[in-house]
A = this chain, B = another copy of it.
Amino acid sequence: MSRVWNFSAGPAALPLPVLERAQRELLDWNGSSASVMEQSHRGKRFIAMAQQVEANLRELMSIPDDYVVLFEQGGATQHFAQIPMNLAREGDSADYILTGHWSEKAASEAAPYVRVNVAASSKADSYLHMPPRETWKLDPSASYVHIASNETIHGVEFHQIPDVGNVPLVADMSSDILSGPIDVRRFGLIYAGAQKNIGPSGLVLMIIRRDLLERPTRPMAKIFRYAEQAANDSMLNTPNTWGWYLAGLTFEWLRDNGGLTAMAECNRQKAELLYATIDGSGGFYHNPIDPPVRSRMNVPFTLQDSRLDAAFLQESEAAGLMALKGHKALGGMRASLYNAVPPEAVQALVDFMRDFARRHS
């Protein structure tokens, strides 16, 4: 069996030991003589696993007891809508900080449910910088402040958690959750699609300060209410059991590899190596993002001569470097360096990039 180095933005690379274990256990999980996919989510075995997965995540992220953890469906996009449905009443407003494609999308999907106040935006600047905190026009009566902690397409990341006072901070962390330690207490709600740093697509992890579940809301089906999901341990209906299981394997892999502190250091080194290669290429490669807010997870870059794009993609694929094509909104290339992308992969990428530049300069 051959494996490639996978730089996909998502669904993304999964840790090889996680995949190997899932493969071994696929037909006979946990002594049940059946697959984990064939287990009732109400059965003892599955419930015990689900509780352990949550306990392991709580330990990894030091999640305080007054936060609930949910394992939901629908992708982060569905929760762009469900968050205002749950945290705001009709007519309330919420502050959105626009720093790229995904925070923009979060605001537009929220608009049917809350008055969206764009408190800051770097759109006019093509999202190359972060709007400085002192320019944000926050409303102290907002239901919440929404940020995307890392922009998967535009490649900008909050390296410090912004202070937004007493209004709950809501963060879409789809593409940088678990990439390093964070102080959960600084947030009202954290959510993340699983398909970058957690597991397969079809699962959304949510961490919600418990008092926010008690907010008065609006008439809606039970299935959309986070309070109902919390009261039912994310099993108001059948959850994505395979995703939950895979997330659990990833959490164990993280724990066994030094936890989030070790992961942060590894991610810092990987990103530094790639940015140094881009910046040191004499202009052959280019990343336009303001250096202090460059993402450690998603590195978009262009070739000075875009006529070489096709050759770059073809040759990199032939060299076992998968999914380097940039998002269609920006063109060029993008390398995503999530937890499951090992340092060797980044070394192989920069070796290829230097060689490619030499051959085509």
Contacts and interface: CB of A to CB of B under 8 A. Distances in A.
A351 interface: no
A181 interface: no
A3 B22 contact: no
Contact of A78 (B73, B110, B203, B242): B73
A42 B8 CA distance: 10
Contacts of A230: none
21 contacts: A9-B40, A10-B238, A11-B38, A11-B39, A11-B238, A11-B241, A16-B27, A19-B26, A19-B35, A20-B27, A22-B26, A32-B322, A40-B323, A73-B240, A75-B238, A77-B237, A78-B221, A110-B221, A193-B238, A200-B242, A202-B239
Interface residues of A, number: 68
A34 interface: yes
A1 interface: yes
Those 10 A-B pairs whose CB atoms lie nearest each other, nearest first: A202-B240, A81-B221, A77-B237, A23-B26, A37-B200, A75-B237, A109-B221, A4-B33, A73-B73, A202-B202
Given A19-B35, A202-B242, 4 more contacts: A3-B27, A11-B238, A110-B221, A200-B242
A28 interface: yes
